[in-house]
Homo-oligomer: A and B are copies of this chain.
Amino acid sequence: MQCDVYFISESTGITADELGNSLLSQFPQFSFTKRYHPFIDTIEKAEALVNQINEVAQDQTVKPLVFATMAKSEINKTLAKVNANYYELFDNYLAKIASNLGVEPRRESGLMHGLVNERQYDDRIDAVNYTLAHDDAMVLKGLDQADVIMVGVSRSGKTPTCLYLALKYGIKAANYPLTDDDFKKHIFPKELLKFREKLIVTTISPQRLHHIREKRRPGSRYASMPVCASEIKMAMDMYDRHLLTPLDVTTQSVEELATQIVRIYRTSKQIA
């Protein structure tokens, strides 16, 4: 079954996208056609969009769903007239929280994803620059400034996870791939042991590593099952020797890994 879904916001619409898609993921029976309308920040734009949605909706079997995050009540009122199942995701909660806290909400748009807190924003950009400069052990100097250092065999998902940590959380995340050089020496890199409290060592199943490497270099020795299995075994031996507990990345997404690393980082900083 098919259903049209609209994501509407005065601002980026990232929150509507996030909650809306989380909710839709619970209905895999349906095929959703998704349309995104950010920056609907005037009543005129809202009216035009309502007309557009209503016109398309006439030809649909299933009434469309609309997820909207509207900090401003007037625009919300206009949108709410749409001939669709309309879910505004702010208003209800804002009113309740306001009553809990005993203060009125600001009702301004763009407070979440705009350039509101410039210092915090600059920290995130600095973290991205740091993470890029310390990707793939390109620079070992400056690891004292890292918040976390991810370690694991090549192609086990360190880089995307580190970039996610930097972009979303402003965490300076260096990463170090264990390579033949390290395996020949049979010892965990000494430069890294200095920063033991920042280390996030990882493991992965040989099958998954083989699958990822095959896509990169099909048929290569590097991607072969024996090499993948042997590298992982050697890495695990190194971790064992230093009592480092690995995070298994095999079945985890970047978001899931990042969430765990943030938790470890915050605990170590006694933030959480």
Residues of A at under 8 Å CB distance from B?
Answer: 1, 3, 11-15, 18-19, 21-30, 35-36, 38-39, 62-63, 65, 69, 71, 85, 87, 89-90, 93-94, 96-98, 100-101, 103, 105-108, 110-116, 121-122, 124-125, 128-129, 132, 135, 157, 159-160, 163-164, 167, 215, 251-256, 258-260, 262-263, 266, 272
Contact = CB atoms under 8 A, between A and B. Distances in A.
Contacts of A107: 26
A85 B97 contact: yes
Given A18-B19, A21-B112, A65-B97, A26 B263 contact: no
Contact of A28 (B106, B128, B262): B106
Contact of A256 (B24, B85, B113): B113
A22 B15 contact: yes
A100 B28 contact: no
Given A22-B69, A26-B108, A128 B253 contact: no
A6 to B, nearest CB: 10
Contact of A18 (B15, B110, B124): B15
27 contacts: A1-B101, A12-B259, A14-B18, A14-B255, A15-B18, A18-B18, A25-B112, A26-B105, A26-B108, A28-B106, A39-B259, A63-B100, A65-B97, A85-B100, A87-B93, A110-B256, A113-B255, A115-B251, A115-B252, A122-B215, A125-B160, A128-B160, A128-B163, A129-B159, A132-B132, A163-B163, A164-B167
B26 A253 contact: no
Given A19-B89, A252-B115, A157 B125 contact: yes
